Structure 1
Amino acid sequence: MCADTPETAVDYRDTVFLPETEFPMRAGLPMREPEWLARWEKIGIYDRLRAKNADGARTPFTLHDGPPYANGHLHIGHALNKTIKDFIVRAHQMMGHDSRYVPGWDCHGLPIEWKIEEQYRAKGLDKDAVDTVAFRQECRKFAEGWVDIQREEFKRLGVTGNWADPYLTMNYHAEAVIAEEFMKFLMNGALYQGSKPVMWSPVEKTALAEAEVEYHDHTSHTIWVRFKPVSGLDGASVVIWTTTPWTIPQNRAVAYNPAIAYGLYRVDALEEKSTATEGEMLVLADALAQSVMTAAKVAGFTRVRDVAADEFDGLILRHPYAGVEGANGEWDFDVPMLPGDHVTDDAGTGFVHTAPSHGDDDYQLGVKFGLPMTYNVEPDGSYRADLPLFGGEAIILPDGKEGPANVSNIKQLAWAGALLAKGKMRHSYPHSWRSKAPLIYRNTPQWFAAIDVDLADDMNDYGTTIRQRALTSIEDLVKFTPAKGQNRLHSMIETRPDWVLSRQRAWGVPLTCFTKRGAKPTDADFLLRDPQVNARIVAEFEEHGADVWYTEGFKERVLGNLVNAEDYEQVFDVLDVWFDSGSTHAFVLRDRPDGTKDGIADVYLEGTDQHRGWFHSSLLQACATKGRAPYRNVVTHGFTLDEKGMKMSKSLGNTVAPQEVIDEYGADILRLWVAQSDYTVDLRIGAKILKGTADSYRRLRNTLRFMLGALAGFEEAERVAPADMPELEQWVLHRLAQLDTQVREGYAAFDFQGVFQSLFNFCTVDLSAFYFDIRKDALYCDAPDSLTRRATRTVMDLLFHRLTTWFAPILCFTMEDVWLSRFPGEDSSVHLQDFPATPEGWLNADLAAKWDGIRRARRAVTAALEIQRSEKVIGASLEAAPVVHIDDGALLAVLKSVPFADLCITSDLQLTADPAPNEAFRLPEASGIAVVFERAMGEKCARCWKILPDVGSHKHPCTCARCNAALG
């Protein structure tokens, strides 16, 4: 008998092999992560990874960085984007590639120029009065400052890359290549100057690309206007409806659709304050007549007759301002009615007021029928000064608010008797993403890239036009993640107009071309196309940067003895900043030693908005200059939302700043949030979500900490060959072989959520709750030379090398901590490792099927014991010796072939085929298995705590046979 009193009890605690590790339970990430960053920089880890490919044996893998703007602190969207990129780069490196990442910045363009202008306005200075080169230098200095700030913020996230030598679109070589790429458009016939309506910002006085436009709710004036025929239609007025009264002075036609049913309507009765006239005749689409009469406060009306579409053919209307006092004949011209498929009877009147200078549909109709363009609106959004009635009036004021132009037109239409009705409506309207001010469509001479012109080059494998090459690339050459991105980009390219390349700004790469004085844009010699001139421009930019374009004597110097400089005018518009970033494949992928041999990236990854941004512009630019897309994979992620699914905004106070998360939790928690989320849709983040992420992290950290402790002092001499291991260890190896495939395929498919969930479930369910739980007894209490203990530690070692490397791309700081806890050293790092090769021979489907049955039976036993524990019948499962009734003879044989009591962590256990009593415990999902609780018989071993009959009958007091032997 074993006495259980303090006086006689034997203490065997020092003889048990408890886990030993200095790996802390609390991570302390906010404080410790900067230490690892400094360490990585000290040992030059990025360069050392490149050196691993000194023999060229590793397959290159390049993720090309979409450049953020260098103009402010990072937001959570930046953190999401760069973290996903880091997962990709690190994972492909550890899968055996030479995985290169060159971070970059967009440095030109309106966002930075606007910041400098804001500084000028605050000082009461006029930007236009400053020397262009001096202004550009201020923009450059501003961008340089933010590049340095953002670089440190990105590095703090744990993002690996060539931070010492990033690419900047404002570097001299970059500016030279951007100019060179633009001049390829000049030489291959894609470039032309045209006058057509473009999205225009009156506040910023420049054209904007679609990617620079965002849509917000906006309240617009609505007007219904009478256009009277010169003759015909029984004198009835044709009624148009528009939300842009300011465009009425630019009207040149009224469009109709022959497929719409029209009628002639008579006004019979009026409500109070109606602007209609009793008895007047109006022509309207039948489907819209009631809504028009309601807007005009008409109490009663009669449909007089059908109006056939052929009555509109050749019909001439009078402009509402024709003959108006003070108009000075400005609008005394014919207004034709023209057929147009774009006209619908969904809203309005069934007729469309057509101003070719202020809308794409209007412009296309104007081109088709030869309508004249107007130039009534100045760059600042005001009417030209000499426009009768409205000269100098603003459509949009410098502060972005509405000017008087709309109201003035409404009043003038009313005075002229043309206003049938007016109102207001709230709708989605384009705004500048920078100034947040409303935009207008404005006709202005701009430079365009024609996307449907056959190009004068020999890169015709995928088509002869930019559009053909782009669509073929999307269809045949590029893989999209998620797959729906393919259709989205395809539909955009399929329907997009020509690319507006020019901006009326100062900070950017100029359109490096010259036009012949006196020539028209349609003339063959309008543009100077001279390879020698182009080469001189590139050489000047390489040496001095794009600022040199604005210096005195530049034109004379580059035209020199080639042509008469006096015969040509220098273009001073700057390129759309999307052309800059769209050209990065040339000066990063093609030109850098760490680029790619063919100038094509393995991956472009950005947010879903970049289907109309960087993916789009890069595709168009590369298709014009290299004949195909510059990427093989396009991966997109969603936007970041708060916990309620609301868009983040400073005004709502629901923003989550990356630095705040890092300060509280550490960057690894932010990285883990990304890995746990489905990045292909919009992602939510907030305090509760981050707390849940931190809880998952703690569970994982505890698993790794236990593994480290169990491996203390492990030596190669202990290693057991897989074939000699117990079945449980062989089952763990089988799971590792399965995971090896899942992890590699997941990382290759950019499925980080899938990778993490597979690994996390393995660690928490298969390891912590099953394997580790079972093998604690052998680890702690078996003799050091025990096969089971040696096999367990061998498996632990194999687990360690795989889990640390598999998790390293995601939890880059924590896995370094785990690795260095076991393998310290000045040059040691988990990030210098590859994923270990996992033998295919570890896979054992038969063994896995066998252990699925064992685990099912075990769950029934542990569930039965948990009831006894919750009812305080027992304190621990070792106090039990249950009887387990098994209906299935094959399963019974399987359970008898393994130490099932040890697997269930009981001191003893009986297996029987006898029918189970009714009161036996049964688990619904484990049919055919019933458990009857019985207490373990015997004494409690003072060393392993098992209750066994032989305890107290051995040399060492109060021990069982196994512990007695271990003590020697």
Structure 2
Amino acid sequence: MCADTATTPDYKDTLNLPRTEFPMRAGLPKREPGWLERWERIGVYDRLREKAGRQPFTLHDGPPYANGNLHIGHALNKTIKDMIVRSHQMMGHDARYVPGWDCHGLPIEWKIEEQYRKKGRNKDEVDVVDFRRECRAFADKWVDIQREEFKRLGITGNWADPYLTMDFHAEAVIAAEFQKFLMNGTLYQGSKPVMWSPVEKTALAEAEVEYHDKESFTIWVKFKVAEAGGFVPADGEDDDYAGADAALVARDLEGAYVVIWTTTAWTIPSNKAVVYGDDISYGLYEVTGRPEECWARIGDRYILADKRADDVMMRARLDGSMYRRLRGVSADELASLSLRHPLAGAEGANGEWDDPRDFRAADFVSDEEGTGFVHCAPSHGMEEYELYRDLGMLDQVITYNVMDDGSFRADLPFFGGTYILSRKGGEGDANTAVIDKLVETGGLLARGKIKHSYPHSWRSKAPVIFRNTSQWFAAIDRAVGDGQDTHGKTIRERALTEIDNVKWTPKTGRNRLYSMIEARPDWVLSRQRAWGVPLTCFVKKGALPTDPDFLLRDDKVNARIIDAFEAEGADAWYMDGAKERFLGNDYDAGEWEQVFDILDVWFDSGSTHAFVLRDREDGTEDGIADVYMEGTDQHRGWFHSSLLQACGTMGRAPYRNVVTHGFTLDEKGNKMSKSLGNTIVPDEVVKQYGADILRLWVAQTDYTADQRIGPEILKGTADSYRRLRNTMRFMLGSLADFSEADRVDPADMPRLERWVLSRLADLDEKVRAGYAAYDFQGVFSAVFNFATVDLSAFYFDIRKDTLYCDGDTTRRRAARTVLDLLFHRLTTWLAPVLVFTMEEVWLERYPDEDGSVHLVDFPDTPTDWRDADLEGYVARVRRVRRVVTAALEIQRRDKVIGSSLEAAPVVHVDDADLRKLLATFDVDDLCITSGLTVTGDPAPAEAFRLPEIEGIGVVFEKAEGVKCQRCWKILPDVGRHSHAGVCGRCDEALG
């Protein structure tokens, strides 16, 4: 009989519809602070430390500078670290994270000086201890601000007890680590060119320098040949000179000019030599004509690299008809020449440049640019310095013309008092003064301007110069006298050996750091500033740096210094009577000078392993971290300095793994800049979307390369988040009132449920391997695709009918058992990424006042759930489903049907094995139809097909029967049961 729909009861309340208060809209910006307060109240981080018997895992935090609000790079960096720590904790480790801050050095000192300048104060007139106290207070303020900003991002860690490089114990340890260099023989004082910031008046390390385009003067300068030795060309060479005697040949070079090219006109007054390449082809060129406004004169002869001659002549405004090549000039002949400085003999020069310039071959000269000759000012160039150092000639070529503010010494003829850079870092007047004087004396052949990449201080943003100064160095090729020779005798040997004992993510990091260590010079340890840890050493008055008693090496003196620093901080070094106090009665204070330079701030951060990993209770037993993780720029920064420092003091690297991330760019791939208006501020993202969206962006990106972020990208991230949230909401709703009594053993589950478990076992392996390899993009991609494609779009879509309409069937209990197993894995797998959302999901189901998803581990997933055959079967069945759903979508589009439940298609399958496989599944449930017939008959011409899936055709047929008023399937038996208007399954469910 058929049911009368007018009298059919409303069965809605009899369905097992989802029940959950988990909202569709996350409201993260408002709700996240509450979870932060909750975690602090229940002490999540400390409770995790109480778990006994777990293997420690320590990520050592590379310290940011405490001098401003966080930028997007900070957010990326700390979020990656947090994911590393949380995931390793949930994989069974005791994952410790002690956040830290770099508090010394120019970033903070510069800020205080800026405040002084605004108030018209002179830093040099302020007591150094008072100045240092202002720096300390400034850093302390920003530590508190940044700490709250980091915590708002959901970063877990020991926030109550971070490490600060300005803590008294830290300052004492940094000084003690420096003293190890003092005592092991690697510390020395030397004079060599270093990168110098005239604006900040201090030496800079490579890591404190960034490269920007700069427009510079470029000049071609003439060095006159003062005298030439004899030279006889080989037979057949240069016919014009064949047979000429040596004296005649020599005379054609006397009075000729060797031409150099430079982009640093200001170094010409410090020139001491010119060098050439002994494998470069050179020629003697004569000017035969000239245009107006040209510094070349007819009859002038220039010695140039043949490969560069045409370019040089063009720069001098000479076309090809205005000069000729007279002959070749060999390296042997060049070796016989002596040159004069272009300012030699100038009126008013007082003989400053009258000495002959050295002229010799050097292996760093090329003919790829310039003239084939290089002018040498060894006080301002490392290659020239090293050349003359190796020749033992430094005392003949080093000058001290440039002062610490970038001005020429006052008594330098013509140029005294001029500045290389202006006080704000722009172009000074020194270059123009030098060029004008060269024009006046006839020393200039050509000039121009060039835009090139040039080093700038990353703090003041002003250009830097190479300047010879007296500095303190750590010798990296000198044997370290500490007896720790397992990895090498020198710092360089140890560092290169240790690089290959470290695991690098990505692997390219190894090659980058290795090449840097392989080629780097000695480490410049000293800075001419006030805020930092001083070089705690004394030098003997009147002694030379090469004298054996130049440095005071005394364990008792060192110990007194360290004790004072522990109690009073490094300010103790600057107090009245400090020298007498530390030297004690063992030495006459009048015979010793106290060093007041401060340590390179990279030595501070490079030493953090000693006072964080080694000294803290939550450090490591061997003082070595499991992982260091920073941006790729830290290959020349923290990774670099930490490796050198640790190799110098404990003979090995302070880390086992090094993970690096790239830089963050805008959506178009441009570097972020306030002037361009394309910066993304973490605080603004958090206020608009919530911290979990920012964290999800991190998880979705390949952090090992440069990443992009912007409004559109964040919208896409938010969309992914919503899809994932819907998946979690469905599970929560379907698990209402689930109990252990509902649980079904996997062996008793339908094939579809066992397929889900197989996928879970496979995914568990990928998740753990991915987290262990710091591959968060791989982890999230795998979990997200599983949740949205395998679950939401397939399994959940199919099992909604069972979950909503079945009674207490094995099939429904199996589905809910699978949902429970999914819940525990998805929430914990995603907890390191979506720290707030997964806490919300967890507490929605387990509202324990003191509970948290972050207190549990990833659940163990039985490997025997894996069924590769079943996964293959389901993959084949899903291909059939794709064709069926595509066929029905056309009928829905054409309004033939409104729902797939109105259909009962006939599916023509050519493959007999596939037909047998389909018979083992409830294919109508799989395709969400009221009926479905599988046949091996040939598909008719009108059958629907997908070109990418061969052998399957679908013929649409409407379902026959009456619509069940409870499950909405159209079936022949509807209305034939005790409950009106329902099918047999629903009648049974109604009881």
Taking structure 2 as the reference length, what is the TM-score of the superposition?
Answer: 0.96
Tell me the residue number matched to 2:29: 30
Is 1:101 aligned to residue 97 of structure 2? yes
Q: CA deviation at 1:355?
A: 0.5
Tell me the residue number matched to 1:804: 827
Q: Which amino acid is 2:619 matched to?
A: G
Q: CA deviation at 1:298?
A: 2.2
Given candidates 527, 530, 535, the residue that maps to 1:503 is 527
Q: CA deviation at 1:3?
A: 5.0
Q: Which amino acid is 1:366 matched to?
A: Y
Tell me the residue number matched to 1:316: 338
After TM superposition, the structure 1 = structure 2 runs for residues 778-857 of structure 1, keeping only pairs within 5 Å, are: 778-783=802-807, 785-857=808-880
Given candidates 629, 644, 662, the residue that maps to 1:620 is 644
Tell me the residue number matched to 2:362: 340
Given candidates 125, 128, 133, the residue that maps to 1:132 is 128
Given candidates 867, 876, 886, the residue that maps to 2:890 is 867
Structure 2 counterpart SS, 1:424: strand
Distance 1:819 1:422 in 2: 72
Is 1:85 aligned to residue 110 of structure 2? no
Contact 2:22 2:844 in 1 (8 A): yes
Tell me the residue number matched to 2:511: 487
Tell me the residue number matched to 1:643: 667
Distance 2:263 2:873 in 1: 73
After TM superposition, the structure 1 = structure 2 runs for residues 225-240 of structure 1, keeping only pairs within 5 Å, are: 225-232=221-228, 233-240=253-260
Tell me the residue number matched to 1:655: 679
Tell me the residue number matched to 1:880: 903
Is 1:163 aligned to residue 186 of structure 2? no
Q: Deviations over 1:598-646 (max 9, x none)?
A: 1111111111111111111111111111111111111111111111111
Contact 2:2 2:976 in 1 (8 A): no
Tell me the residue number matched to 1:265: 285
Distance 2:265 2:817 in 1: 80
How large is the Cα RMSD of the aligned pairs?
A: 1.0
Q: Which amino acid is 2:495 matched to?
A: A
Distance 1:347 1:2 in 2: 96
Q: CA deviation at 1:923?
A: 2.0
Given candidates 365, 371, 374, the residue that maps to 2:399 is 374
After TM superposition, the structure 1 = structure 2 runs for residues 265-304 of structure 1, keeping only pairs within 5 Å, are: 265-299=285-319, 300-304=322-326
Contact 1:703 1:763 in 2 (8 A): yes
Q: Deviations over 1:774-819 (max 9, x none)?
A: 1111111111x21001101111100000000000000000000000
Distance 1:128 1:959 in 2: 93
Structure 1 counterpart SS, 2:472: strand
Contact 2:377 2:397 in 1 (8 A): no
Q: Deviations over 1:417-451 (max 9, x none)?
A: 21111111111111111111111110000001111
Q: Which amino acid is 1:411 matched to?
A: D
Q: Which amino acid is 2:457 matched to?
A: S
Structure 1 counterpart SS, 2:73: helix
Distance 1:741 1:220 in 2: 57
Is 1:440 aligned to residue 465 of structure 2? yes
Contact 2:3 2:975 in 1 (8 A): no
Q: Deviations over 1:350-405 (max 9, x none)?
A: 11110010011111122133143111111001111111222111111211122211
Q: Deviations over 1:18-58 (max 9, x none)?
A: 000000110000000000000000001100010113xxx11
Q: Which amino acid is 1:891 matched to?
A: L
Q: Deviations over 1:698-755 (max 9, x none)?
A: 0000010000000000011111011111111111100000000000000001110110
Distance 2:491 2:205 in 1: 18
Q: CA deviation at 1:141?
A: 0.2
Contact 1:215 1:431 in 2 (8 A): yes
Q: Which amino acid is 1:767 matched to?
A: L
Given candidates 544, 554, 562, the residue that maps to 2:568 is 544
Tell me the residue number matched to 1:890: 913
Is 1:355 aligned to residue 377 of structure 2? yes
Aligned residues: percent identity? 70
Distance 1:643 1:417 in 2: 53
Structure 1: stretches of 5+ with no match in the other structure: none
Q: 1:164 to 1:228 in 2, by over 3 A?
A: same
Distance 1:219 1:857 in 2: 66
Contact 1:272 1:297 in 2 (8 A): no
Is 1:512 aligned to residue 536 of structure 2? yes
Q: Which amino acid is 1:110 matched to?
A: L
Q: CA deviation at 1:924?
A: 2.4
Is 1:919 aligned to residue 942 of structure 2? yes
Distance 1:158 1:108 in 2: 27
Contact 1:109 1:576 in 2 (8 A): yes
Distance 1:770 1:435 in 2: 57
Q: CA deviation at 1:866?
A: 1.3
Q: Which amino acid is 1:92 matched to?
A: H
Q: CA deviation at 1:507?
A: 0.4
After TM superposition, the structure 1 = structure 2 runs for residues 714-753 of structure 1, keeping only pairs within 5 Å, are: 714-753=738-777
Distance 1:846 1:390 in 2: 85
Distance 1:791 1:797 in 2: 10
Q: CA deviation at 1:151?
A: 0.2
Given candidates 596, 603, 607, the residue that maps to 2:631 is 607
Q: Which moves more between the two structures, 129-138 or 244-253?
A: 244-253
Q: Which moves more between the two structures, 225-234 or 88-97?
A: 225-234
Q: CA deviation at 1:916?
A: 1.4
Is 1:248 aligned to residue 271 of structure 2? no
Taking structure 1 as the reference length, what is the TM-score of the superposition?
Answer: 0.99
Given candidates 952, 961, 965, the residue that maps to 2:984 is 961
Distance 2:614 2:752 in 1: 52
Contact 1:315 1:336 in 2 (8 A): no
Contact 1:517 1:567 in 2 (8 A): yes
Structure 1 counterpart SS, 2:452: strand
Structure 1 counterpart SS, 2:199: coil
Contact 2:177 2:607 in 1 (8 A): yes
Distance 1:9 1:557 in 2: 100
Q: Deviations over 1:477-503 (max 9, x none)?
A: 111111111111111111111111100
Distance 1:190 1:874 in 2: 85
Q: Which moves more between the two structures, 872-881 or 305-314?
A: 305-314
Contact 2:883 2:954 in 1 (8 A): yes
Structure 2 counterpart SS, 1:195: strand
Contact 2:219 2:444 in 1 (8 A): yes
Tell me the residue number matched to 2:455: 430
Q: Which amino acid is 1:19 matched to?
A: P
Distance 1:627 1:500 in 2: 20
Distance 1:871 1:86 in 2: 51
Q: Which moves more between the two structures, 424-433 or 178-187?
A: 424-433
Q: CA deviation at 1:566?
A: 1.7
Q: Deviations over 1:856-897 (max 9, x none)?
A: 212221111111111111111111111111111111111111
Tell me the residue number matched to 2:426: 401
Q: How many residues align?
A: 962
Q: Deviations over 1:172-196 (max 9, x none)?
A: 0000000001111111111111100
Distance 1:419 1:846 in 2: 82
